[in-house]
Chains A and B, each alone.
Chain A
């Protein structure tokens, strides 16, 4: 909402400065978004009087002028054709910045003669495009500030334009008068009376208006009258200046009047050319669907059933509360005008405007709510203005429907401001505030003014009182603790688990990413998503069309972007939700890590190598351990098809309890996502890890033996696809009490063993508890290990 300071002062009698007004507006909740202070850039210019002007000896077009200024007579060289003796001019003295030419004036010599300043044109001061000569003023004193002269003689040129943001609850502030009322209530002046007397009609209105019975809730009331014999044309200068200042284009007087009241009083009006209303009858009705109209914006609209339309015998002429029609609008030639002031329902207007995608000043106001009670006054104000400037005579006013009743009252509980806001405001001040905002107090009941549709309860009264008093008066007050003493932990076990996973990943050298929750359909489909249930109806772009089923596609896209920037090797991770459906709650927390390229740049120690599956396996295990997962897990090969089929493992506690997956990303997926491999990844499901059963912090007692442990190595020849874990578990099972650990320390595939055979070498660590192991004991356990392993794997002890 834009308005000028002088427009505001039409409604508000005030001595407040611009800064005071701006501060108060923002503080009142009418946030100032910008001020165009057109005087500020002219403040250094003063008036001068050209005492004499003589031809420059060395330049045909230049004159040497002696100019009286507040600092005495100055010599100024000037090239303007109208620079001559006896005129009052605008002077820029040395040091003054001239906006139109983006230059600061200095003392200089022009063709050998010194010049002490400049006489300005309108264009140089950005007042207009006029540059045929310097400004000649009809009045003014030598030394007077040019801004002061303008303020007195041509205020529209220096009037500050204020733009404020209007929250949806304040339609009344969409009119300058509403803004003035708030400022007056704050104590920044007095609201001026701006009533006009009703204009008596001198003939019966020749146009009739009816509202269909089923349309009365969409358009409860419609006031209208004809003014005949008007002379349309350009608006008077003050009105043009007003509209231009706030960014509106003056069109013709009759149209400008409607725009003026839209902004002055939040009272949208419409003018029909009365001679173009077929059958001299307007009907307000619900659209059947399919009707069309060319709007004032010259666009063609087709209506859906139920929209509010205004039609004559020929068909639709106007969209109620939204926009008038081209065909029946006023033009320069209009002689007889039909003036409409109606009230349209906010909800219906909002739906219609949204459906038709029309953003008009009228829609903006009706959908927020204008003052229905002011409808009859609005038509009188507009009539008066039209008669004053365009002549003609007014008919009687016709009315269809009736003004909707907005009467309601709420109890003012003076203590409520204290308890809800925490401010001490005396009851008398509270009552005064409400009264100045237009509330009428009867005892403790505050009757809400018709222009405040937002006030719907007692809390709103508190809000008004606090707002006008200023929330800056609010003093902070400590919030007492809910419990005494040391604060308790506040994170749930899952929240802690998430934080630990994140910090462990970072500790393992991964960089955390936060990527968008939506990705393109193709990438989502590669990871088992991209279906209809997870599709966005209105994505911001086709690249962001589906909720991500997993974190890996986002990380792979990030990897591709980084590779394109010249970074081949990276470790990225993300912790966040994946979406397995489109219903609330169909999301699950994931932790994913991605290793691409080599372990590091090539280096002098030869440490750099391509990343492999066992890198991500180690990291996945470390993060799982940090989150409290059990150490004994199963590794299955049942991962989804974005994993390399032979190079991945599913970490689980039984076939249905999957804690995570690690492995090489399928080469096809890498190709589709334009990532240069190899790429290793892991994904973990933190919620699948069982929560610890006991709550206490006590650890189990440490059970260690002073007896010496013994290690024995074995090598077995097994089928190439025999899994090491099978072998390890078999060896561990040989003597559960004695065997503490089994480690694989060598794998050798093929060679002399034959292509589908391999050798696996293990170290078995035996830890006696009661007595030192004898060689006999050790041999017995060794025999058991060999027996168990050969039985479990079908392999043989390597000779």
Chain B
């Protein structure tokens, strides 16, 4: 019995591959293997002999089987290791290229602004970009001779021969949406109106198309003090800086009365603008209490209702927040610019997750 054990364990230890191992297995514990044959002989033994030989043979069989599987695992490890040794990749090679899409800053900032005002209960109103001169001017208390009309560098649509209506205009501001929304929804009302507007002007700080966001809140007891609070809350949230102060300066717009230009606190250090600190002021928007004539034009009774309105440049606040130097580049679609100043598709501004990274 010991001879058998030594013979097979020796053979197993020396087996070079899985085939050799299988041959050994068949020779030892296969159906006709030496150990199996010996076990068949047990039947012919006396009970006393069997009691000695049985367990010994079983133990031998188990030992050989264990040795076989241990050797098999060792051989398999060795061959896997050998294969893996040859499977070397230069993992510093670049990955398969994928395109990185981007969201334009105008879209991103519009969503940021919408998120903030949405929280304050403002809904988003929209209107046509080509509008009548009544909606763009007259309804906003800018009659035909008003100098503000000439100052706005309005684009006019061509009029067909024989069409004697005043020419339509490309809206010079988002304010006509105020009138259209008042007409449609009446008061009370809280809306913002983001969108493209047009003025015939082109230099480093002016493009013939740019983007504005208009705000309008109408109720029975809304005052300019509410406007100041709303704007300060907005700027703090938008720039992510606690407690930004605003400065209201008296001004004039035909559609508001009283009117104020609004500055935000800033500083200039080494030619760099920093919002929300320092002693300087930066003009960011125009605002005021809605002129009674404008309320009337929108079908809202100025003896009952009052409210505030404001308008600011989306492109401009985008430039301020993200340090984008040139307005003209917004509309040039230069890939380098789109990739550098654009935003990832999943960077959706939310109040709970933050408006920016």
Residues on A lying within 8 angstroms of B by beta carbon are 26-29, 31, 167-170, 346-347, 350-351, 354, 367-368, 418-423, 454, 457, 459-460, 462-463, 466-467, 470-472, 474-479, 481-483, 487, 489-492, 495, 499, 502-518, 532-540, 544, 547, 554-555, 558, 561-562, 565, 567, 570-573, 575-577, 579, 582-587, 599-601, 603-605, 607-608
Contacts and interface: CB of A to CB of B under 8 A. Distances in A.
A481 B120 CA distance: 7
A536 B209 contact: no
B228 to A, nearest CB: 4
Contacts of B346: 503, 507
22 contacts: A29-B252, A167-B252, A350-B145, A354-B150, A420-B224, A462-B257, A466-B224, A474-B224, A474-B228, A476-B226, A505-B345, A509-B98, A511-B335, A513-B333, A516-B331, A517-B196, A517-B198, A540-B208, A555-B333, A585-B128, A599-B97, A600-B97
A304 B251 CA distance: 36
B123 A587 contact: no
Given A29-B250, A466-B258, A420 B147 contact: no
The secondary-structure label for the interface of chain B is mixed
A687 B270 CA distance: 49
Nearest to B180: A584
Given A422-B225, A517-B196, A584-B168, A536 B155 contact: yes
A510 B339 CA distance: 10
B86 to A, nearest CB: 20
B223 interface: yes
B355 to A, nearest CB: 15
Given A466-B258, A490-B118, A532-B160, A169 B97 contact: no
A477 B339 contact: no
Contacts of A600: 97-99
A142 B304 CA distance: 71
B257 A422 contact: no
Given A511-B342, A561-B333, A478 B155 contact: no
B119 interface: yes
Nearest to A488: B121
Contact of B147 (A168, A418, A539, A555): A168
B188 A482 contact: yes
Contacts of B223: 418-422, 477
Contacts, number: 277
B309 interface: no
Interface in B242-268: 247-252, 254, 257-261
Contact of B334 (A346, A509, A565): A565
B36 interface: no
Q: Which of A31, A168, A601 has the most CB of B within 10 A?
A: A168
Contact of A608 (B97, B151, B198): B97
A536 B348 CA distance: 36
A681 B337 CA distance: 22
Interface residues of B, number: 95
Interface stretch (B24-32, B55-63, B104-112): B104-112
A359 to B, nearest CB: 10
Contact of A459 (B226, B261, B289): B289
Interface string B140-169: 000011111011000111111000000110
A604 B94 contact: yes
A463 B225 contact: no
A460 B119 CA distance: 33
Given A537-B158, A539-B155, A421 B224 contact: yes
B93 A604 contact: yes
B172 interface: no
A212 to B, nearest CB: 22
Nearest to B90: A604
B159 A367 contact: no
B331 A514 contact: yes
B222 A479 contact: yes
A457 B208 CA distance: 36
B112 to A, nearest CB: 12
Contacts of A489: 118
Nearest to B198: A517
